[in-house]
Amino acid sequence: MSWEGWTLVIVLLVVALGWVLWLLASRVDRLHRKVLRSRATLELQLGQRAAAAHELAVSGALDPVESVLVADVAQRATVTAPERVVQDGLEGTDDDLGTISGGVDRSLVESELSRTLRAVLEVRAGSEPLSDDPLAAEPLKRLDAAWYRLELARRFHNAHVAEVRRLRANPVVRLLHLAGRAPMPQTFEMDDVRPTY
């Protein structure tokens, strides 16, 4: 084979390799964007669950102590909503948004809301079911639906993060820095077990 033939083969191999690397880098980028979209959905569902818990607290179906307890924890979950769900830096720095992070761990606040709601709703399950109370029927239905959507959103988010982490563990992706300077995404772990009532 002449030198022109070898040159053509080498050029074709370089173009094919570049194309494969471009596809791999594009996949990493798409997966990062998928994580960010699922994180936005997760934030929305966290907010909806806190709002549904607050609605239950002010419905008049709970006794005053339970009502104050649930309203307080739901309010804390709402107040921490501007904090990032995961502090991994994937969404950019706080300076990009012009906000100052208070260092609140959202997973702890959201887990506290889950435990409080379970404690209040499961204690009542031993005596008169709260779902029989006409004041609580609609708020409980909204809370249950919001909680279910939250469980799904968290599972999808964590599955997308696992997918990104697997792809970024690929030696080619690591060696050639195909993820760029994007930080490694983190999962969102919280207690989201729904109560039985």
Q: Is residue 170 part of a domain?
A: yes
Domain count of the fold of the chain: 1
Q: Give start and end residues of each alpha helix (H) in the chain.
A: 3-57, 64-79, 94-97, 106-125, 134-168, 171-175
Q: Indicate if the pLDDT at residue 58 is higher than 90.
A: yes
Q: Is residue 187 part of a domain?
A: no
Q: Indicate if the pLDDT at residue 130 is higher than 80.
A: no
- 144-150: long-range contacts, CB 8 A cutoff, minimum separation 24: 144/194, 145/52, 146/45, 146/48, 146/49, 146/51, 146/52, 147/49, 147/52, 147/192, 147/194, 148/194, 149/45, 149/48, 150/42, 150/45, 150/46, 150/48, 150/49, 150/192
Q: Is residue 97 part of a domain?
A: no
CB within 8 Å of 113: residues ≥ 6 apart: 49, 50, 53, 73, 74, 76, 77
Q: Is residue 192 part of a domain?
A: no
pLDDT band at 98 (very low <50, low <70, confident <90, very high): very low
Q: Indicate if the pLDDT at residue 131 is higher than 80.
A: no
Q: For all residues of the chain together, what is the average pLDDT? A: 88
Q: Is residue 129 part of a domain?
A: yes
**Which is more confidently placed, 84 or 75?**
75
- How many alpha carbons lie under 13 Å from residue 127 in its C-beta half-sphere? 6
**Which is more confidently placed, 180 or 161?**
161
Predicted confidence (pLDDT) per residue in 5-39, tens digit:
899 899 999 999 999 999 999 999 999 999 999 99
Question: What would you report as the CA-atom Rg of the chain, rounded to the nearest whole angstrom?
Answer: 24
pLDDT band at 70 (very low <50, low <70, confident <90, very high): very high
Q: Is residue 165 part of a domain?
A: yes
Q: Is residue 43 part of a domain?
A: yes
The pLDDT of residue 2: 87
Q: Is residue 80 part of a domain?
A: yes
- Domain residues for the domain of 42 are 3-28+36-91+103-175
Question: What whole-number percentage of the chain has pLDDT above 90?
Answer: 66
